Amino acid sequence: MSNDALDTEQIDHFIRYCRIEKRYSIHTINAYRRDIKQFQVAVLKNDETVSIISSQATDIQSFVAHLHRQGQQPKTIKRKLSSLSSFFNYLVRQEIIKSSPVIGIHSPKLTRSLPQTLEIETLDRLLAIPCDSFINARDQAILEVFYSSGLRLSELVSLDYVDINFYDKTVKVLGKGNKERLLPLGDKAMTALKQWFEYRQHKLEMGENAVFISNRGQRIHQRSIQQRVNHWQKKLGIEQSVHPHKLRHSFATHLLQSSGDLRAVQELLGHADISTTQVYTHLDYQHLAKVYDQAHPRARKKDDLKK
């Protein structure tokens, strides 16, 4: 068996481990496979005498340099290094190699950009969709649930009818890493869902459990939701771009501004690490700084004070 075949066999074992034992999402597993395969091609270079199992730190460094030359973003390079690190750590645990060649390789520094949010007035316009048809009722319910509970797009698409508890006003969500969390649903989101279910029942295909369905009665696709959100932005004349994740950002920012409870926001968003949630504290500070600049006499420019 060639080194290429042996490498492929180990990659397959690792992917099976991620799927069965770690129970990673299909998106994570596919990303792992793509990243490792890309590294395999870069290392082998059509030479079957070379093996990624015998890779050294210099091979990892060459791969990173190759990604830089391709113009890959630091965030993408960091993810690919993380995929390789998981793979080689698996090989170490299986006693196939003694140490990981990724150890000591530094990821490129990320320049974290602040998430963009929508003003409450803009959200009010966006959420005021007339609930007078199948499409409109569905779209309004989608937008209300996004903003009410801060769901990711993938989480909203995967919702089933049994995940909605009308008595407790909660929704059960399966997030990243197959971790469940229970989120509250606001009164307006509950009202929108009830109105939507009145329309939904007439087009639902037999055996379909999805909360949000297409005109054909089947679970709606992520791309369709993105297109509908974009449709309403243009139809309502909203100048600021609107997308599902911006509704999630708006949910987190507005909640943090009102409560100041970072830990609670972390739980609601389903962030494993609170450092991920801390980006919203910077947005909150920006909001406070803006209020200060507008209201405090000492913050105003001299020209403004002369007016």
Catalytic residue list: 152, 176, 245, 248, 271, 280
How many angstroms separate the Cα of 255 from the Cα of each of 117, 119, 187, 211, 252? Answer: 12, 13, 16, 25, 5
Distance CA 65, CA 97 (A): 24
What phi, psi does 14 have (nearest 5°)? -65, -45
Distance CA 185, CA 279 (A): 24
Distance CA 34, CA 30 (A): 6
Report DSSP state, residue 165.
E
Which pair of tokens denotes residue 17?
Answer: 């481990």
Amino acid letter, 55? S
Q: Strand 164-165 relative to strand 180-184: parallel, antiparallel, unpaired?
A: unpaired
Report DSSP state, residue 180.
E
CB-CB contact of 11 with 21 (8 Å) = no
The DSSP H or E segment spanning 147 is: helix 134-149
Residue of 153, 150, 147 lying closest to 188 (CA atoms)? 147
